[in-house]
Structure 1
């Protein structure tokens, strides 16, 4: 069975649960829920396994907090013997409009501390990342408050459809491959 490690980035704890920065957790939670998979606490994070058409999607929510995500990612990649090309890191992105989806096979960390630590621990920028746009609707000096703030009423209203599309993107990544998935979902 072909294995994939799908890592939703976020911060543990109830106070972060519905924040923009935790969209990675929210997306893998949504996928697990729709596939009747339950998360269990494991070393360095919570994990659930979703099986789809001969593929095993290992969903991971690191418990290392956002800024140290790379430690959990590296550990589970090695433990589960998942090839680097089957890794997908799901994260928020201030540089994209709310709900915009962008899948990339490599790139910079874009100032995102979770990606920065992942790049540091994996010693490469060549890993798949799925960025979910949270927009940049904050005033100067308020970035941290915005990112760690909760979704607006309008965003919450639109979030369900965006989560459904995000789950479809992840399934496509495992079933159709990264290039087909980029062509189908980027900018949607």
Structure 2
């Protein structure tokens, strides 16, 4: 879907990219598997000296510059399954096409310690991605997926993604988040093939 600017350029600051991390708001969810996207946004904010604290469009957000591109870091506060509602409003407000919306999410199909960079595609069953695809009416947005471990036998999927990382997993997660942060500039430069070769 092509979004037209809803406001005059004088009223809306220029933003080149939306970088959206998926998760659930609230202290009780902070170190759950589903919040890997939020964790990555925090890591990006630390690296690029951004403050993701402005409340806007049912999200927390903050601006930063990455490789000369003005980026808005976004953490939707709508809860995971409704993430697209917030993302779509940001995209419309700033006139951002889906191809310039980078989404960072958890992925239960591979282990903690790995990331996957993708140019586009289906949600893979991730409900936040499902919501964004539905609201943007497009699958044509890049994403970085952070492995949070495959669901153990006997677990309900909802319980698994809302479970806390174990201490040893948290130790493994820090370098993974650093890898994800390192991959972001490649995506912004549309060098996704290199990012996939380097990080996948």
TM, length-normalised to structure 1: 0.92
**1:74 offset after TM fit, Å?**
0.8
**1:2 offset after TM fit, Å?**
6.6
Structure 1 Cα separation of the partners of residues 151 and 81 of structure 2: 23
Q: Which runs of 5+ in 2 are unaligned?
A: 1-13
The answer as to 2:174 corresponding to 1:160 is yes
Which of 85, 88, 91 is 1:71 aligned to?
85
Does the 8 A contact of 1:9 with 1:61 survive in 2?
Answer: yes
Which of 107, 110, 131 is 2:124 aligned to?
110
The answer as to 2:143 corresponding to 1:129 is yes
Structure 1 Cα separation of the partners of residues 155 and 169 of structure 2: 22
Which position in structure 1 is the counterpart of 2:5? none
Structure 1 Cα separation of the partners of residues 189 and 121 of structure 2: 23
Q: Which runs of 5+ in 1 are unaligned?
A: none
Deviating beyond 3 angstroms after TM superposition, the runs of 4 or more aligned structure 1 residues are none
How many equivalent pairs are there?
186
Question: CA offsets per residue over residues 74-106 of structure 1, 9 Å max, x none?
Answer: 111111122221111110111012121111122
The CA RMSD over aligned residues, in Å, is 1.6
Q: After superposition, where does 1:6-21 map in structure 2 within 5 Å?
A: 6-21=19-34
The answer as to 2:35 corresponding to 1:28 is no
The answer as to 2:94 corresponding to 1:80 is yes
**1:22 offset after TM fit, Å?**
0.3
- SS of equivalent to 1:60: strand
